[in-house]
Every structure is written in C-alpha cells, then in structure tokens.
Structure 1
Amino acid sequence: MNLKQKQTEANLKPGNRTVPGRTIPVPHRDISERAQEMIAAPYNVFIDWNLNPPTKEDWRKMVTMVSESSAPAVNKLIKELGLTVEQLQIGGVKCYRLTPDSIPENHRKQLVIVAHGGAYVYAPGIGSVREAAMFAAFGNYTTISVDYSLSYEKPFPGAIEDMIDVWRAILTAYDPRSIAMTGTSAGGGLIMATILKIKELGLAMPAAIAPSSPWADLTETGDSYKTNEWLDNILVSYSGYLGRAAKLYANGNDLSHPLLSPINGDLEGFPPTILTSGTRDLFLSNTVRSHRKLRRARVPAQLQIYEGISHSQLSFDPDLPETREAYREIAAYFDQYLIS
C-alpha cells in the first residue's frame, strides 16, 4: 500500500487527524541566515525541556543555578546595548529600570512595563531583564522589568499581585495613557491576566499592550500544542517541564481559571493589543486564539507571525534581524496609542 492509500485509509472517518512521520526542512526564503541557524539548532541546550524537579526546593535550586550561569551573558547584553540599569523597589516589588543612552522626544514621558517569561518559574534577578533590555534598546523607551514572585516561592496569584502592586505605584507618577505593557510567554499571559485584574479592580488601563507568544491557556488546548510539538526547539512539548510548571504555578487551582488562562476571561475593554509569534511556536495557537478573541471583543488588535520561529526566539538574540524588526513593529504600534 502506498503513502496516499495509507493516509487516506487512516483518515476515512471524521475526527483526529493521523499524519505520517516527517522530516521538516529549515525554511530559507524571506528569512535571515541567522534565523535559519537558530531554527536548525538542536533542542534548547540551556534548559532541559523534560526537567522534573520533585519539590519546590529542587525547583529553586535548579532555577538558581540556571540564573547564576546566565547572569554574565545578561550583563554583557546590557552593556553592548548601551543601557543603564538600576535596581529599585516599586510598590514593594523588586524591579529593574533600563534606560537607553538616547530617548526620542516623544518617548521621554512614556514608560513600558515588562513581565519576563520563563513559565512562572525561571529568570529571577538580573535574568529577568533580557526582554526589557531589548525593548529599551530597539524601541527607545525607558522600561521597567518586574522581578515578580516565582512559583516555587509564591504561586498563583502571587505574580498577579506583584504586577498590581507595581501598577498602583506607577500610577502615582505616570499618566496611564503614556504607559504600555509587554511580555513574552508566561510574561505575555501575565500581562493579559493583569489587565483582567486591573479591569476587575476598576483601575486605569495602560494605553496599549504587547503580549508576545502569550501563555494565554495553561491547559494543553489549541492546535499548535500538537502540530508544533517536537518542531518547536525551545519548549518542545507540553508533556515536559512546561505542563509541570503550569501545575506548580496554579498551586491546585483549576488551570482554566481566567487569571491563570486569560484566554478564558472577558477581554472586552482591553487596551489596543499587538501580538507576536512564529510558525513553529508551540504557543502559536495561544497567540492566534487571543487575537481572534480580542477582535471579537472589538479591541483594536494586530497579529504578526514570523516564518520558522519557535517559542520566544525573537527575545533571545539582539543581532537577529527579525528580533529588531519585531520590537520596532511593537514600538511603532505603541506610538499610535501612547500620549507623549
């Protein structure tokens, strides 16, 4: 029996789709050579996709080790991007302020608040500033990176509470119409959950948000959780540490709760939103579903998808042309909505 006959027979009935084993080539059109190298790389060598620390203390030790080993690279990045970094407390929460050497006139009274990624368990301390540093450099904004509580020390709703404490404090010094929020992965999901909480509390909204590849659904719901499984060379599979990290953060709460999976919340009244993902991203469906739900809620929303990019790869390499392009696209979107 040939392949056509086998596949036709395997998919005769409506329901789940059966696909043959495949080798997926590296895309080479309309994509930079540096991106091609990133796409062709083996699975993430810095964080084992299948980690399974048995206790919260084991999580803490493992995350501390990863954080300490990555700190020199983050400090180097800050220096190479020409940024000034300052550690400070905002609303009782540890944060980092990153300031570029040169800020355009229209950005000088503006601020971008950044929630870092890392499955709510990674990137404490200086490791939390990588995305904020790139956005400060390529978007030319002062950024605040929130070093929110991680799951092994203060699980749900700890991270949201920290974000709200920071937001309340920021509102005493800035006009909310001059503030945007952004974040990738867990950071993107946290931004969306924070907006839901801001809405619930009746606080002023930021002018715009940019959740990139947001972990908007902590359950394994969405097409790309399966279509991009084993193809995404960063997250690889929900069945690895990702699913375990979701349970660690939820701390016994239902993973579908809107403040855990904000895709399930009422998105009406959200600020204008730009979402970013890649065609190999395990969270591509999270991003696409969030975009459609925002549009259905009549929220101005823009979606940008990059060829071949796996999960959050646009926040890794400052020399990747697609990285600079993505951050500048977000900055241009913010320029439409933030007052100066």
Structure 2
Amino acid sequence: MKKKTSIVLILLMLSYYVCAKQIDINRFPSPQTVSLTLQPLVSAVPMTYWNDHPKTPKQWHDWVNTIAQFSLARLPELKQKFQVNSQPITLGGVSAFMISPKSITPENKNRILLHFHGGGYVLNPGEAGIDEAIMMAGYGNINVISIDYRMPPNAPFPAAIEDALSAYAALLEQYPASHIGVFGTSTGGGITLALMLKAKTLNLALPAAIVVGTPWTDLTNAGDTYVTNEGIDNVLVSYDGWLGDAAQLYAGKYDLKHPLISPLYGDVRNLPPTLLFTGTRDLFLSNTIRMHLKLKDVGVKADLIVFEGLSHAQYLMTVDAPETQRYFYES
C-alpha cells in the first residue's frame, strides 16, 4: 500500500511540475495598475528568441546581428523624436558614441553622462546599443557618451571592464568626477557597478552618482525571482534560455561569482549615491533588491524604485509611457 501511495504522489508531483511549466510560459494579463501605454507590452507573448542556444562563435555572431536589426531600425525615429545627434568617437582607445541633444540646459553645460548598454554582455553591438543613451540625452538635455565595449565570443571577461575603465579614466582627464554621472540598464547596470569597484581599487575619483536599472549583479542563478518570476518576465523569461549561456560565455575561465563579473559579491563600501530600478515581474528583481540592501548595509546612499507590473527593462521599450518618463526624470 505504501509503495502504491508513493507512486501516486510522484505522479501527482510530476503532473504539477509539467502544468506549472506550461503556465509559466503562458501570457499573463496586464494589471490595471500599469499605465495604459505599457499594458499591451506587459501582457505580450515573449519573443521567441528567449530560448535560443547558439553554440559556435559564428552562431553567436549571426544571432546577435539578427537581433541588432530590430534596435537599428528604431534609431532614426528615436533620434528625430528626441532631437539628438550621434557621432562615433574614441574615448581612452575605446569605441563609443557621443549623443548630443539639440539644446543643453545651462546647469548641464559642463556635465557629462557615461552610458553602458544592456544585452547580457553579448547583445547590442555598435549603434544598436545607444537607444537608452538617446532617450537620456533627450529627456535630460545633457551630453551622453555611450561605450561600445567589447563582448564575447571574441572578447569575454575582463574585456568589457577594461574598456569601461579606460573610457572612464579618459573622461576624468576632461571632467572633474563631480561633473560625471554613470548609468546603464541590465548588463549596463552591472558594468557600472563593476567599474565602481575597479576604480575604487585604483584610487580613481568616483562619479557624482550612478543609476543602475535592473542590474545584472549576480550572473549565477541565485536569488528568489530567478524562480518566482520565471515565465512571468516576458522579456528574459528564464535563466535557462540564452541568458544562462551568455553568463558562461562572458565569464569564460573565471568564476561567475568574481566580483567584477557579479558585483553583488564585491566590496561596495564608499560607492557613490546610487539609484536602482526594477519591476515586480522582473527576473532580476532579486538582483536589484539584494544589491540595494547591500549598499544600504554599508552606508551608501541608495534609493530603489520598483515599477508595478514591469518585466525586465520594459521602461525603455515605449518612449512616452509614464514609467519611461519617470525613469529618465528621476535619473
């Protein structure tokens, strides 16, 4: 009897697991507490490429270039809307783009923002990575430099951090640290935090403030919302998709918990004032919350804004949404 009961329990558990996995990849309705502008995006079906698994360097390059076309197609309209120009430049020997608005407010004449794009350390090469920088320049009426850091498979860690450091050190030769701000979303937030850790060890002056949107602070799959928001986040969807592959590709021979790969494991004492953003459906919600608590625990001035209903980085995906405006105006 006990054996029969055990088999029944196992079958029920397996049945529940399969059903749960089916539910996780289904569309969730948008809560009415999300802005009308973003509701269709919040309840949308995930993009099919979330579960792609490129294997060879060529497959990675082809996959990245295909996805980049979506971002590139959006740029002309985005530049027009925000009345900005973008010019390729080199900063500290690193490829970058200078994003300049049509008008700069008087208080921003001698200030500069340094931007790092998102994309799991593999996506958004070249101009495909400047959409957030365009919006920040337009909303903030300030010059923004967006760094086109090197990425795997050709250049795994520490290439991106080396580029970030070279660019930041060169910027310090042109501006006092008090006139510099650094920001980025997702991977861009992770690089921003890693840059602070590295600059601190080199005794470089740190910027006036940093903004990290839904930062990838832990490239392992630790953290509650890697589980609880799996399939609910309709952008990243699951660590078991391309995201986990990208983490391994980026880290290469290094431990995923290396503090310059996963800055959550670094010494964050004396970092500059930090503003963090995430959403209630974000796979990286725990990444962001854990970093916020760690900063607060060591006395860093840190504020956290959690957007209702948003999956990963959706505040960047519809330019006129109230959530989008809040991100840029709060920053």
Q: TM-score, normalised by structure 1?
A: 0.88
SS at match of 2:234: coil
Give the total of aligned pairs.
312
Aligned residue in 1 for 2:36 = 33
Aligned residue in 2 for 1:212 = 213
Contact residue 38 and residue 318 of structure 2 kept, 8 A: no
Deviations 1:217-236 (A, max 9, x none): 00001111111000000000
The whole-number CA distance in structure 2 between the counterparts of 1:87 and 1:280 is: 35
**1:57 positional shift:** 2.2
Aligned residue in 1 for 2:50 = 49
Aligned residue in 1 for 2:187 = 186
The whole-number CA distance in structure 2 between the counterparts of 1:101 and 1:148 is: 26
SS at match of 2:37: helix
Contact residue 279 and residue 310 of structure 2 kept, 8 A: yes
5 Å-filtered alignment, 1:49-68, equals 49-68=50-69
Unaligned regions of 5+ residues in structure 2, if any?
1-8, 10-16
Q: Which residue identity is paired with 1:225?
A: Y
Aligned residue in 1 for 2:12 = none
Aligned residue in 1 for 2:247 = 246
Q: TM-score, normalised by structure 2?
A: 0.91
The whole-number CA distance in structure 2 between the counterparts of 1:71 and 1:267 is: 35
**1:70 positional shift:** 3.1
Aligned residue in 2 for 1:199 = 200
**1:158 positional shift:** 0.3
**1:242 positional shift:** 0.3
5 Å-filtered alignment, 1:44-123, equals 44=47, 48-123=49-124
The whole-number CA distance in structure 1 between the counterparts of 2:72 and 2:202 is: 36
Aligned residue in 1 for 2:275 = 274
Identify which range, 56-65 or 157-166, moves more after superposition: 56-65
Unaligned regions of 5+ residues in structure 1, if any?
1-8, 10-17, 331-340
SS at match of 1:37: helix
**1:189 positional shift:** 0.5
The whole-number CA distance in structure 1 between the counterparts of 2:232 and 2:67 is: 24
The whole-number CA distance in structure 2 between the counterparts of 1:68 and 1:36 is: 25
**1:102 positional shift:** 1.7
- Root-mean-square deviation (Å): 1.8
The whole-number CA distance in structure 2 between the counterparts of 1:289 and 1:107 is: 32
Q: Which residue identity is paired with 1:136?
A: A
Q: Which residue identity is paired with 2:271?
A: F
Query: Are residue 317 (structure 1) and residue 321 (structure 2) matched?
Result: no
The whole-number CA distance in structure 1 between the counterparts of 2:179 and 2:77 is: 30
Aligned residue in 2 for 1:335 = none
Identity rate of aligned residues, in percent? 42
Q: Which residue identity is paired with 1:56?
A: P
The whole-number CA distance in structure 2 between the counterparts of 1:278 and 1:139 is: 22
Deviations 1:68-87 (A, max 9, x none): 35312123211221101111
SS at match of 1:245: helix
**1:65 positional shift:** 2.4
Aligned residue in 2 for 1:336 = none
The whole-number CA distance in structure 1 between the counterparts of 2:267 and 2:100 is: 34
SS at match of 2:304: strand
The whole-number CA distance in structure 2 between the counterparts of 1:318 and 1:88 is: 26
CA pair 286-294 structure 1, distance change in 2 beyond 3 A: same
Aligned residue in 2 for 1:166 = 167
The whole-number CA distance in structure 1 between the counterparts of 2:120 and 2:61 is: 13
Aligned residue in 2 for 1:227 = 228
Q: Which residue identity is paired with 1:32?
A: S
Contact residue 130 and residue 146 of structure 2 kept, 8 A: yes
Q: Which residue identity is paired with 2:36?
A: E
Identify which range, 71-80 or 252-261, moves more after superposition: 71-80
Structure 1 residue ranges, 4+ long, deviating more than 2 angstroms after superposition: 20-25
